[in-house]
Structure 1
Amino acid sequence: MRKGIFNRKTNAVRAVDGVSFTVAKGETLGIVGESGCGKSTTARLLVGLEGIDAGDLIFDGDRLGVDLSLKDLWDGVQMVFQDSYASLNPRLTIEETIAFGPKMRGVAADEARRLAHELLGRVGLAPARFAGRYPHELSGGQRQRVNIARSLAMKPRLIILDEAVSALDKSVEAQVLNLLRELKDEFGLTYVFISHDLNVVRYVSDRIMVMYLGEVVEIGPVAAVWEKRAHPYTAALFAAMPSMDPDNRTEVPPLAGDPPNPIDPPSGCRFHTRCSFAEPVCGKTRPKSVAVDGAADHDAACHMLDPISGHSKSAGGSRLEAAE
């Protein structure tokens, strides 16, 4: 943040702060949270589109900037963006769009064109019909399939999907999700899947990571998080999901207010300003990430889970029932 006639730096927005996680080969990690929580910034950091101020990005054991250049990272990591139209060059045909990356890596033009046609067929677009078209001649679902084919053309091992299906209607969304699952098995891919739709994340993901105001508040296997939402923010997110059961209506808002300003985030637990379980310790001390019920793969950062935090509910097992 800059101001004044000399454009001096006065403050900074910490879009992602102290986020640390791993993605195992062959799995799908789902990332959820409110708008502005840092999901897309995390995605851009993973693919090298944003610089890291502190910390490390390690891919296949190589550290970015030390053992690994951005060019080498992009050989193994690709991204599919939310806006399927804005992420395509309107002056290139679909064939040229998919072949562009391989040609920049030294693949012969004929081979790159053959690869583009092969991938178009694999994502369900007949090359004879679509290869010569331009992005404005395709529907949203067709453009997103082109983006997926373009990412596959680089033969990546990891694909970042940033709200890749959120702009699609439900029938097309289901087709693209099934396509992604098929491609994952066929090409041995690893996904980082970002979405607002918890049901979509549950369908495609092996693990789920919940973010709030630039921090990770809970991470664990999808089944474990669905069974026990250990963090109050996770419980609130799940309570906000629409239900088809008329007897299970949400009559009381699970969460009130807006997230705090990321320029000046709250001290201690960043969620304490909106949490119904907040106590003085929550505003003073930043909670540690601790294992939920002793599980090695399910962690949450909440004082109620830490037996030595000093929170009055730190020893209960059903403390989040009210929030759910």
Structure 2
Amino acid sequence: MKTDDTIFPAEDKGGPAQPLLLVQDLRKYFPVRGGLLQKEKKFVHAVDGVSFSVAKGRTLGIVGESGCGKSSTARLVARLMEPDSGSMIFDGEGVAEFGGIAFKDFRRNLQMVFQDSFASLNPRLTIGDTVAYGPQVHGVPRTEAVKRAHALLRRVGLEPSMFASRYPHELSGGQRQRVNIARALAFEPRLVILDEAVAALDKSVQAQVLNLLQELKAEHDLTYLFISHDLHVVHYISDDVMVMYMGQVVEKGPVEAIYENTRHPYTRALLSAVPSMDPDHRTQQPPLAGDPPNPINPPSGCRFRERCPYAEAVCADKIPYLGAVGGNKEHVVACHMNCAASGHSRAVGAPAIEEEVAA
């Protein structure tokens, strides 16, 4: 669907080889309110040095346990929260205070779909007005905005003659989420962040929305940042996967590399916890023991070491860096077992870890 380029310019400044989004060393600490006698300020390390890139036309899936920093990272990228430090480049240009693309233009090129489809919609606006409202605020005449809204509603499977005059409470959860997707696309964005966008839907509706997202991605040349706790869904929709633990990236790579050549013990634990219908591949023992450490005072070295069955002294002494797996620069993992010079007894290759996991 074409629009006036003076209102919604869709530029590709750097070509397909340049990442659409490049995030470097993003950090966000939340202060903890203490008592009157508490002299030292404490902070929750929600996002602690996260760096990644998203290629144009691809989907990056972000996974991890609750509280690992997935949603906080998404909100920092969308600038719904201000980061404490770090930089962000959108199609070769810095964002807002980093110099380059204006904040209003950046926000128009990036849209977000949240988990709670009902809370995301204004209960006093009809569905048609909800989708048309954003473009009108950005200068699109009402007639054109309504026309665009009706076309998008029709594309997401909601016939305007039946749904445009309805209110959010008159729709099902799946229908409301389709409205949220249509509203996001009304700006003709280049990057869409989907934060648990299908988590609240039942499986049949979930599959329909996922297929719709795939079709819209191809039609509108979209790039997705897809956040989910459902590893099956991430496997289906993602091109690349980033695994987070306690505010840090522990493994990142192409989806098949992550699922078939998992290198980090935490990623292995996540995958082993996924239910299987095959009786020969059912998990007999809990993949992880214990609870995540306190995010106010995270462990030294590797933050996963207190729950890792392969932890050694080096894991407490040194922070592992993201290194390439077997020379594959696209697949990186932050684990001392992946570094020959780390001093870990199972470093690089370590057949023992493969044998124990298989056993």
* TM-score, with length taken from structure 2: 0.88
Equivalence for 2:297? 264
Equivalence for 2:87? 56
Return the offset for 1:199.
1.1
Equivalence for 1:287? 320
Counterparts of 1:1-324 in structure 2, within 5 Å, are 1-5=32-36, 10-64=41-95, 65=97, 66-321=99-354, 322-323=356-357
List alignment gaps of at least 5 residues for structure 1: none
- 1:31·1:208 contact (CA, 8 Å) conserved in 2? yes
- 2:46·2:247 contact (CA, 8 Å) conserved in 1? yes
Larger relative strand fraction:
2
SS of the residue 1:147 aligns to: helix
Return the offset for 1:6.
9.7
- 2:337·2:350 contact (CA, 8 Å) conserved in 1? no
SS of the residue 1:297 aligns to: strand
Return the offset for 1:254.
0.7
With over 3 angstroms needed to count, the CA separation of the structure-2 counterparts of 1:134 and 1:228, relative to structure 1, is: same
Query: Which has the higher mean CA deviation after the structures are superposed, 222-231 or 176-185?
Result: 222-231
Measure the CA separation in 2 of the matches of 1:320 and 1:31: 25
Measure the CA separation in 1 of the matches of 2:353 and 2:259: 13
SS of the residue 1:119 aligns to: helix
Measure the CA separation in 2 of the matches of 1:139 and 1:254: 36
With over 3 angstroms needed to count, the CA separation of the structure-2 counterparts of 1:293 and 1:171, relative to structure 1, is: same
- State the Cα deviation string for residues 39-70 of structure 1 (Å, max 9, x = none): 00011011110101111011111112221332
Measure the CA separation in 1 of the matches of 2:342 and 2:261: 21
- State the Cα deviation string for residues 101-130 of structure 1 (Å, max 9, x = none): 101101111111111100000000000010
- 1:16·1:215 contact (CA, 8 Å) conserved in 2? yes
- 2:61·2:242 contact (CA, 8 Å) conserved in 1? yes
- 2:125·2:167 contact (CA, 8 Å) conserved in 1? yes
- 1:236·1:323 contact (CA, 8 Å) conserved in 2? no
- State the Cα deviation string for residues 280-299 of structure 1 (Å, max 9, x = none): 11011100111111101000
SS of the residue 2:61 aligns to: strand
* TM-score, with length taken from structure 1: 0.97
Measure the CA separation in 2 of the matches of 1:77 and 1:193: 13
With over 3 angstroms needed to count, the CA separation of the structure-2 counterparts of 1:214 and 1:98, relative to structure 1, is: same
- 1:254·1:323 contact (CA, 8 Å) conserved in 2? no
Measure the CA separation in 2 of the matches of 1:177 and 1:24: 20
Return the offset for 1:258.
1.4
Return the offset for 1:214.
0.3
* Matched residues, number: 324
Q: CA RMSD in A?
A: 1.4
Return the offset for 1:319.
3.9
- 1:230·1:320 contact (CA, 8 Å) conserved in 2? no
